[in-house]
Amino acid sequence: MAVKRKRIMQAVYEALSSSGEALHTSKIFDMVKGMAPDLCDDSVVPCPYDGQNHPKWKHDAHWALQDLKMRGLVERVGRGLWRIAKPIQPQPQPFLERRVIETGEHERLKMLIKDIGEILGKYVELEYRDRPYVYDVVWKEIDALPPSHVFEIQDRGNVDAALAKLQHARDIWKCKLFLVVTGERDRTKVKQLLEPYWRGAFHRLARYISVLNPQEVEEIHNVFTLYREVIKSFLEE
């Protein structure tokens, strides 16, 4: 996502977040212009995309609303009225602190995933805490938004617990999921748990989750590092 589009999306999301109530599109536009005046050039009229008699930045803000709606972060509640989407309330659970894994491999994989995300222009956080869980790595499109990609590294732990965490992330954020599994026995169990057609306990996750091994993460990191500048140029506006 280009930098300008990210900033407009962030302004739209922050406008709705700060309100606490539904806002009309015109009010959202006014607030976006107040937050990011440098992005709101009223001289570009009519809009080159649809020929309508409004500035291009309003077209971008409108599509930011649609994008946020598709992500499940905002919802339309009437003609021209928008608000922050009500989150799915998880069942109350005791807070689960992360088990400390005494291994350099776990930390190394986290840093590789962090590097890949930053090359792609994502906002990256390690050990992202969202009760009742702590996630190894998350990527966001912008800081103000919830995670768009969630990564868990499974290293001699409880496979069911890792998948439960990812299921929670999917339910709350509608994000893409990645599970890095270091052991062959765990990979076999993950495959069984993700079996389709109601066979696996986590079959609903199968279409949203990518299962990787450490070698694949390292190979992806090597390619992205080698072509870092070219990839960044592809992402520039």
Q: What DSSP line would sit under 50-63, residue for residue?
A: T--SS-HHHHHHHH
Residue-by-residue pLDDT tens, the chain, 237 positions: 466 778 888 888 888 888 778 889 889 888 988 888 888 887 766 666 555 667 888 888 888 888 888 777 888 888 888 988 875 554 444 444 444 444 588 899 999 999 999 999 999 999 999 888 999 999 999 888 899 999 999 876 678 888 889 999 999 999 999 999 887 776 677 777 776 644 545 667 778 899 898 999 999 999 999 988 898 888 876
pLDDT at 110: 94
Q: Which fold has domain 3-84?
A: Arc Repressor Mutant, subunit A (1.10.10)
pLDDT at 103: 52
Report which DSSP code applies to 90: P
> Structure tokens of 212?
């990787």
**Residue corresponding to tokens 């992402």:** 235
CB 25 within 8 A of CB 80: yes
Q: Which of 217, 207, 96, 199 is nearest to 157 (CA)?
A: 96
Q: Which of 124, 134, 128, 204 is nearest to 171 (CA)?
A: 204
Cβ of 65: how many Cβ atoms within 10 Å? 19
Tens-digit pLDDT profile for residues 173-188: 999 999 998 877 766 7
Class of domain 104-235: alpha beta
Tens-digit pLDDT profile for residues 148-157: 999 999 876 6
Report which DSSP code applies to 102: -
Domain extents in the chain: 3-84, 104-235
- Name beta bridge partners: 152: 179
CA dist., res. 16 & res. 115, Å (int): 31
CA dist., res. 13 & res. 142, Å (int): 10
The amino acid occupying position 226 is L
CB 10 within 8 A of CB 61: no
pLDDT at 202: 67
Q: Which of 168, 86, 158, 156 is nearest to 129 (CA)?
A: 168
Report which DSSP code applies to 203: G
Handedness of CA 76, 77, 81, 83 (dihedral sign): negative
CB 75 within 8 A of CB 44: no
Q: Which of 220, 215, 211, 218 is nearest to 186 (CA)?
A: 211
pLDDT at 45: 65
Residues 6+ apart with CB under 8 A from 192: 200
CA dist., res. 130 & res. 172, Å (int): 10
